Structure 1
Amino acid sequence: MKLKKLIPVVALGSLLLAGCGQEEKVTLETTAQKASYGAGLNIGRQIEREGAEIDLEALVAGIRDSVEKAEQKVSDDEIQAAFMALREEAEAKQQALQAEAAKASEEFLAKNAERAEVQVTDSGLQYEVMTSVEGGESPGATDTVRVHYHGTLTNGEVFDSSVERGQPAEFPVNGVIRGWVEALQMMKPGEKWKLFIPAELAYGERSPSPRIPANSALVFEVELLEIVK
Structure 2
Amino acid sequence: MFTSLRLFPTVLLIFISLTGAVKAVELDSEQKRLSYAFGYLYIQQFKQQGTMLDMEAFSAAANDVLQGKEIRMTKAEMSATMQAYRTGLDEDLRANAEARLKAGQDFLEKNKKETGVVVLDSGVQYIEHIPGVGAPPSAGAKVKLHYRGTLIDGTEFDSSYNDSGEPASFELKDVIRGFLEAVTKMKPGAKWTVFIPAHLAYGIGGWSPKIGPNEALIFYIELVSVE
TM range (shorter): 0.7 to 0.9
- Which residue identity is paired with 1:153? L
- With 165-174 and 152-161 compared, the bigger mean Cα shift is at 165-174
Partners of 2:17 and 2:56 within 8 A in 1: no
Equivalent of 1:46 in 34, 37, 42? 42
Any stretches of 5+ residues in structure 2 without a counterpart?
1-13
Q: Which amino acid aligns with 1:85?
A: A
- How far apart, CA to CA, are the structure 2 residues paired with 1:24 and 1:56? 11
C-alpha separation in 2, matches of 1:29 and 1:185? 49
TM-score (norm 1): 0.80
More strand per residue: 1 or 2?
A: 2
Which residue is equivalent to 1:96? 95
What is the one-letter code of the residue matched to 1:150? R
Aligned match for 2:159, one of 161, 166, 176: 161
Structure 1, unmatched stretches of 5+, are 1-16
* Alignment match, 2:62: 63
Provide the aligned length of Structure 1 versus Structure 2: 210
| TM-score, structure 2 as length reference | 0.80
> Counterparts of 1:65 and 1:56 in 2: how far apart (Å)?
14
Q: Which residue of 2 aligns with 1:193?
A: 192
Q: Distance in 2 between matches of 1:22 and 1:212?
A: 37
Q: CA RMSD in A?
A: 2.6
Q: What is the distance in 2 between the residues matched to 1:87 and 1:30?
A: 34
* TM alignment of 1:1-229, pairs within 5 A: 20-22=17-19, 24=21, 26-29=23-26, 31=28, 35-36=31-32, 39-50=35-46, 51=49, 52-133=51-132, 135-166=133-164, 167-228=166-227
Q: Which shifted more, 196-205 or 47-56?
A: 47-56
The amino acid of 1:62's aligned partner reads A
Q: 1:21 to 1:172 in 2, by over 3 A?
A: same
Cα 1:35/1:28, change in 2 over 3 Å: farther
Question: Following TM superposition, by how much is the alpha carbon of 1:41 offset from its aligned partner in structure 2, in angstroms?
Answer: 4.7
